[in-house]
Chain A
Amino acid sequence: MPLALAGAVLATAMVLPLAYLLITVADSADTAVDTVANSRTIRLVARSTGLALAVTATAILIAVPLAWLTARTDLPGRRVWAVAAALPLVIPSYIGAYAYLSALGPAGLLRDALQEPFGIERLPDITGFAGAWLVLTLFTYPLVFLPVRSALRGLDPQLEEASLGLGRSQWRTFRSVVLPQLVPAIGAGAVLVALYTLHDFGAVSIMRFDSFTREIYTLYRASFDRTGAAALALILVALMLVLLWLEARARGGFALHRSTPGAKRPARPIRLGAWRVPSLIFCALVCGLALVLPAGVLVYWSFQSFAGSTDWAGTLDAAGSSLLVSGLAAAAAAVCAIPIAILSVRFPGRFARLTERFSYTGYALPGIVVALALVFFATRAAPAVYQTLGLLVFAFLVLFLPLAIGSSRAGLQQVSPRVEEAARSLGRSPLAVVRTVTAPLMRSGVLAGGALVFLTAIKELPATLILAPIGFQTLATEIWNATNVGFFERGAIPSLVLLAISAPSLYLLIGRE
């Protein structure tokens, strides 16, 4: 059937990096074994896993209340808060980490501010585990926030009303009725946060936290050692499979759609009452730390770098390229996520599970590994597309498709299969049902997924540098050009433009509701 075919083709495409790693490792298996089987590697796996767990836990603790507040309550300005809460995702982690270091570091802006009045010479060092934890949490929690918020908006209010009507308190209703329905969305987001933390290079390198990815990059950069790096990358793939297995267990198999007929209606906003002020403080605190502080540092830097010499035309051009390529990637990912999500929810089984899990491969790996894999295959099998925009969009698809799958799946789980069965029984072909019934009904999840892909792709660097057509400048490459020569100040303006062009697109998405 066409769905299975689409799923299989996609999964095959997604597995290209894995195939590349296996080919590379097979080339010189001895080196690979040496690299993997040493105590240092094991220690690095432990450190990286620890960081991933810590970041994931805090990201959930921040994201779920934020999502609930902006989706289900009468919080003042909740749409603006929702946009602001999702925006930290576009801040490249190395820029975010550097902004934090220059603000709160031992010799940072805060120290400068405190030095005069209080005579404080040095602040405690935030580098290492604490710094990496803080920065990664602040810039990844939107990966949980967006799918959970879209799941909350898709919930059927009848269950809650029944629970409230039976005398349960608002809190107990949330815990026993709402929260269990959010598990798929939280799980999908949590996996993404954990995988992001495992493959991220920017934050750990600036926070000087010795992690697995840093080791892979060191192998590439210092010794051109592709075998060792590939062997380590395979461990990341293994960790990914473990994570996905855990998530699938947590997700369980229960139905989340309504079982009775009748039209769904939006839930009535919950009155916050006395909780209004604390809720506002919470939102302000999160947005302050994740958005205002880094953006403030960026603004400060952009005044430091003489704005007169800024190449505005070039930056504008780059902004257009960024929008084009991330927009294409987001649309492609949204479309491709639909068959995989449908397979995994409607036709669960070994085939669907494999298809879904392997489509996460690209996301679990550092960008350089995926980029080199595509170089390897494209130059050999499809030289005509090598270093074209099409291949770059494909690379983004390989890297970021899981971002769209998770929330599309969560969206579909809220749709009752009976609607589709009705359409089938009325004579529509299976494909027509997918197009006219299933896809439109899961749109909230699909759009959230597309938005995640857009926000993540727009800041992607390693694949863009290697795979983009020559001379194709995006905002991310502009930032890299500036920061690479050590002038973080000069990366400030393209970073701010990145934020500025992402905000309206997010607002369009969230404001349409």
Chain B
Amino acid sequence: MRSLRLAAYALPALLALTLAACGGDGDDEKITVYSGREEEYVGPLFDRFEEETGIELDVRYGETAELAATLIEEGENSPADLFFAQDAGALGALEKEGLFAPIPEDSLSRVEPRYRSPEGVWVGTSGRARVVGYNTEELSESDLPDSILDFTDPEWKGRIGWAPTNGSFQAFVTAMRLTEGEEATEEWLRGIAGNDPVVFDDNEAIRDAIASGEIDVGFLNHYYIAEAIAEEGPDYPVRAYHPQGDVGSLINVAGIGILESAGNAAGAEEFTAFALNDESQRYFADVVKEYPLVDGIPADPEVTPLAQIQQPDVELGELDDLQGTLELLQRSGAL
């Protein structure tokens, strides 16, 4: 078999070639970013940074949790300079592993203390609100209960959509454990599970099911709705509701941490400052529909202003105890 033999000889040669080709880049100027945020949302930001500073970014995209696990396995040998995560829980987990270096004070002080690590090793770059999405053809805001806790009422049987495997939802349950206690949280989970909710895999699916009328309400993040309204127009039949003052209106953040082992720490610090400058913050607000976290930058007019949301009293860095949440979800039959 000639082609088989050919392959046997060609393979090592090809491998050697590719190794040689890939081994050659020792450029100090580059910043290596592990991005748990999607290219769709942060790609334009990266492009603008490269244009303005002339510094090249090497970006590895992936799921936030999987990149966090990768960073933990890589340890000191990580090629990454900076981790751009989708939620505070992952940043908290890496903080506990001691993988992060301090963020410069100039960047930290741009953001309110509640949206950054108390130790100053990671900083939020944009906010993501938990909301109750509802179908405007079936319901108006006055039909909705004051508290997220009241959705256990039998009146909501078969009308709720949720995503118990979704990271944002689990962060919300972790927050509920902190504000309401273990018992009340378990009771709530059992109550919702007993209301025959439709189970989804992610936020988009919940939103689409609300829009199609498959369900009346769903628990999701605010920007999925704002995005759809921007795309489909004001007639889009889904709106966001913030249950005031309880954990139902938790604001989580996407944020940045700089690796202790970074080869280009100065570059990583420069990018952190860039992500928190006015223009980048406006980008998060206008295009991604997230909440800007720097004073003086307004949120998208379609979303409820941050100042009008009564947030629960939760330390975001503590949302990394998801192990207990997972056990609770399993025990209550939600997972």
Contact = CB atoms under 8 A, between A and B. Distances in A.
Given A223-B326, A383-B77, A470-B32, A390 B72 contact: no
Given A222-B170, A226-B69, A388-B22, A485 B11 contact: no
A380 interface: yes
B78 interface: yes
Contacts of B40: 481, 484-485
Contacts of B41: 485
Nearest to A441: B1
Given A220-B66, A466-B62, A486-B204, A335 B90 contact: no
Interface stretch (B13-21, B110-118, B274-282, B308-316): B13-21
B58 A470 contact: yes
Contacts of A331: 7, 10-11
B73 A379 contact: yes
Interface string A184-198: 000000000000000
Contacts of A471: 58-59
Point out which of B4, B170, B320, B322 has the most chain A C-beta atoms below 10 A from its C-beta. Answer: B4
Contacts of B109: none
Interface stretch (A233-241, A368-376, A423-431): A368-376
A436 B240 CA distance: 70
A471 B32 CA distance: 11
Nearest to B9: A335
Given A331-B10, A375-B74, A379-B77, A223 B322 contact: yes
A471 B14 CA distance: 20
Interface in A35-73: 40
A256 interface: no
A265 interface: no
Nearest to A106: B214
Given A328-B14, A388-B22, A470-B59, A335 B7 contact: yes
Interface string A435-447: 1000110010011
Contacts of B142: none
B323 A393 contact: no
A383 B22 CA distance: 12
A375 B19 CA distance: 17
A158 to B, nearest CB: 24
Interface in B86-110: 90, 93
Given A214-B165, A334-B7, A446-B4, A222 B73 contact: no
Interface bin, chain A: 35 or more
A496 interface: no
A470 B18 CA distance: 14
A469 B204 CA distance: 30
B66 A465 contact: yes
A334 B22 contact: no
B60 interface: yes
Contacts of A223: 322-323, 325-326
A219 interface: yes
A393 B22 CA distance: 14
A210 B41 CA distance: 31
B214 A390 contact: no
A390 B19 CA distance: 6
A390 B40 CA distance: 28
Chain A binding site: helix, strand, loop or mixed by DSSP? helix
B180 interface: no
A220 to B, nearest CB: 6
Point out which of A40, A219, A486 has the most chain B C-beta atoms below 10 A from its C-beta. Answer: A486
Given A221-B167, A222-B325, A379-B73, A389 B7 contact: no
Chain B binding site: helix, strand, loop or mixed by DSSP? helix
B65 A226 contact: no
A222 B69 contact: no
A384 interface: yes
A255 B177 CA distance: 64
A417 interface: no
Contact of B73 (A221, A376, A387): A376
A387 B77 CA distance: 12
Interface string B39-78: 1110000000000000000111111011111101111011
A370 B47 CA distance: 32
Nearest to B96: A224
B307 interface: no
Interface in A195-213: 205-206, 208, 210
A250 B8 CA distance: 33
Interface in B302-335: 320, 322-323, 325-326, 330, 335
A462 B15 contact: no
A30 interface: no
A299 B116 CA distance: 45
A462 B322 contact: no
Contacts of A390: 15, 18-19, 22
A332 B4 CA distance: 10
A481 B11 contact: no
A440 B8 CA distance: 13
A388 B165 contact: no
Nearest to B202: A486
A317 interface: no
A387 B79 contact: yes
A485 B73 CA distance: 27
B140 interface: no
A386 interface: yes
A379 B73 CA distance: 8
B199 interface: yes
B137 interface: no
A384 B66 contact: no
Nearest to A208: B199
Given A469-B22, A481-B40, A335 B70 contact: no
A220 B65 contact: yes
A220 B63 CA distance: 11
Given A107-B212, A205-B201, A470-B59, 14 more contacts: A205-B165, A220-B65, A222-B167, A223-B322, A224-B72, A224-B90, A368-B69, A379-B74, A384-B19, A390-B22, A435-B5, A439-B1, A465-B63, A486-B204
3 tightest CB-CB pairs across the interface, nearest first? A486-B204, A379-B77, A223-B322
26 contacts: A107-B214, A205-B165, A205-B201, A208-B201, A214-B165, A220-B65, A220-B69, A221-B63, A221-B66, A221-B167, A222-B326, A328-B11, A372-B70, A379-B77, A384-B23, A387-B22, A389-B19, A439-B4, A440-B1, A465-B62, A465-B66, A466-B70, A481-B61, A484-B38, A486-B204, A486-B224
Interface of A: 40, 106-107, 205-206, 208, 210, 214, 218-226, 328, 331-332, 334-335, 368, 371-372, 375-376, 379-380, 383-390, 393, 435, 439-440, 443, 446-447, 462, 465-466, 469-471, 477, 481, 484-486
